[in-house]
């Protein structure tokens, strides 16, 4: 029998900062190059997440989104883990993983020389007037739906700022890095606050 004086009391036990499991679902299209998501899966594992990678059926052209990889995870837990990781390793690891994922995706895209279909002309698609964007990695919170957009153009300053991003002032996404203002912001929140 143990001595009650020696067993830990509830006040002596340190509470967990976030009792929810830290899981991340990484989605790629079935047609994506094999292992395209691997750098992100590895980096999320380093940050303490249990990662499940899943393939999604290919989308029809009308449903095309500008993401190469969609990561659904609790954003606040992710930002806390990113901010808590030692020194420069945190943002360097994430930025390198994003660049590798996007590079693998762009290397696998068919080129006109490889016998692929020629690019669509403006009359071929109802989305012809839609702005074209390069593929991105999208982080999405499952509870709020807020998305953080990570593109190939982001530099070290953007990733450092991401480590300190405060989500409490953001009500809607997507959240993008504004290079002119050198900060992460939600275009929708900015427009409604003016």
Summarised one tens digit per residue, pLDDT across range 152-191 is 889 989 998 998 898 988 888 799 999 999 999 987 766 6
- Could you tell me where the DSSP H helices lie in the chain? 38-46, 75-84, 89-108, 156-163, 187-192
**Of residues 56 and 73, which shows the higher confidence score?**
73
**pLDDT score recorded for residue 135:** 80
Least confident of 55-69, 121-135, 175-189: 121-135
- Rounded-to-integer distance, Cα 61 and Cα 125, Å: 9
What's the rounded Cα separation, in Å, for the pair 105 and 14? 44
**Whole-angstrom distance, CA of residue 177 vs CA of residue 185:** 6
H/E stretch holding 29 reads strand 23-29
Q: What is the mean pLDDT of residues 109-127?
A: 36
Average pLDDT for residues 43-62, to the nearest whole number? 82
Q: Give dist(CA 187, CA 175) in Å, integer.
A: 7
Residue 119: which pLDDT band, with cuts at 50, 70 and 90?
A: very low
pLDDT given at position 86: 59
Q: How far is CA 72 from CA 27, 102, 162, in A?
A: 8, 17, 17
Residue 25 phi/psi, 5-degree rounding, is -105, 125
């Amino acid at each position: 029998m143990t001595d009650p004086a020696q067993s830990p009391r509830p006040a002596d036990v340190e509470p967990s900062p976030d009792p929810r499991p830290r899981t991340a679902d990484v989605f790629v299209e079935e047609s994506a190059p094999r292992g395209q998501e691997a750098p992100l899966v590895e980096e999320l594992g380093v940050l303490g997440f249990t990662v499940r990678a899943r393939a999604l059926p290919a989308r029809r052209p009308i449903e095309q989104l500008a993401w190469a990889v969609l990561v659904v995870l609790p954003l606040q837990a992710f930002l806390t883990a990113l901010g808590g990781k030692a020194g420069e390793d945190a943002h360097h690891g994430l930025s390198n993983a994003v660049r590798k994922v996007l590079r693998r995706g762009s290397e696998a895209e068919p080129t006109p020389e490889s016998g692929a279909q020629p690019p669509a002309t403006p009359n071929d698609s109802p989305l012809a007037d839609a702005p074209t964007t390069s593929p991105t990695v999208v982080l999405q919170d499952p509870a709020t739906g807020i998305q953080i957009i990570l593109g190939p153009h982001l530099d070290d300053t953007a990733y450092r700022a991401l480590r300190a991003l405060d989500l409490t002032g953001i009500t809607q996404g997507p959240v993008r890095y504004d290079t002119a203002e050198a900060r992460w912001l939600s275009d929708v929140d900015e427009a409604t606050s003016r």
